[in-house]
Amino acid sequence: MSKQLKYRLKKTLKNAEFVHADLEYHQELSGDAVREFQEEVSKLLAKLSVEDKQRVHDHMAQQQTPNRQAEAAGPSLGDLPENADVAAAITEGIPPEEATEKAPKSNKARNLKKIFRRIAEKTHPDKLSARGLSGAEGLRLGKLFLRASEAHNNQNWYTLYSIALGLGISLEDPDEEQVDWIEEDIKKTLAKIAALANLTAWHWYTGDEDARGRALKHYFLQVHGFDHPEL
């Protein structure tokens, strides 16, 4: 490995570690944010007059009608799978599984599969049972298998690479292409963080008193179609 690639890899791994920790932070707190925000909304809805409650009911009914019509019409183009081969197969009437099997595997897919198999040798529940592992260590390895399986399905090379290193699995030094994969994962992870941080519930949960009021006001205007009298 060249000196330039070595330091590029080191920097990229540090960035990936940071953004994944940031994603975990947002994922852990977003559940609390949504739950507490919904509780606050429920309290405000309960304070409405009978007339305003009827307005909310009527508005929600109107909002739901287009959704039901869209469902009856089938998926939109935005609902089709991201995989172009699978999407084309749907429109041509070929079963998606068959189309996926016919599609040539990319270098990334082959590399992911190779690393995942080596991780599975150490963490698959059947392997753990055969080794007589149970208790805390068995639980830890079982969770790692689930993480690795999810990473494999999501084409997340960085997570598989990190899990493998943590298990003491010897891997070849990453090349330029694999560092590119880590940078791709960083971009996808940042997009996930941005989506969570853009939730109205998140703005309410993490904001000061003024920000919380604005978030609730925005929610009632967007979802229920009117200004709550207490906001």
What percent of the chain shows pLDDT beyond 90?
52
CA dist 180 and 50 (Å) reads 58
Kindly report, residue by residue over 32-90, the tens digit of the pLDDT.
999 999 999 999 989 888 888 888 888 778 776 555 444 333 343 334 333 443 333 33
190 pLDDT higher than 70: yes
CA dist 16 and 146 (Å) reads 20
> Can you give the pLDDT at residue 206?
94
> Can you give the pLDDT at residue 66?
52
> Can you give the pLDDT at residue 201?
93
CA dist 152 and 115 (Å) reads 9
Overall size of the chain counted in residues? 231
Give the count of beta carbons closer than 10 Å to the beta carbon of residue 114: 12
167 pLDDT higher than 50: yes
> Can you give the pLDDT at residue 80?
33
Mean pLDDT of the chain: 81
139 pLDDT higher than 50: yes
Kindly report, residue by residue over 98-116, the tens digit of the pLDDT.
444 444 457 888 999 999 9
Q: How far is CA 204 from CA 128, 188, 219, in A?
A: 44, 25, 10
Give the count of beta carbons closer than 10 Å to the beta carbon of residue 131: 12
Domain ranges of the chain: 3-47+104-224
- For the purposes of burial, counting CB atoms within 10 Å of the CB of 28, is it exposed (0-12), middle (13-18) or buried (19 or more)? exposed
192 close to 23: Cβ distance less than 8 angstroms? yes
103 close to 85: Cβ distance less than 8 angstroms? yes
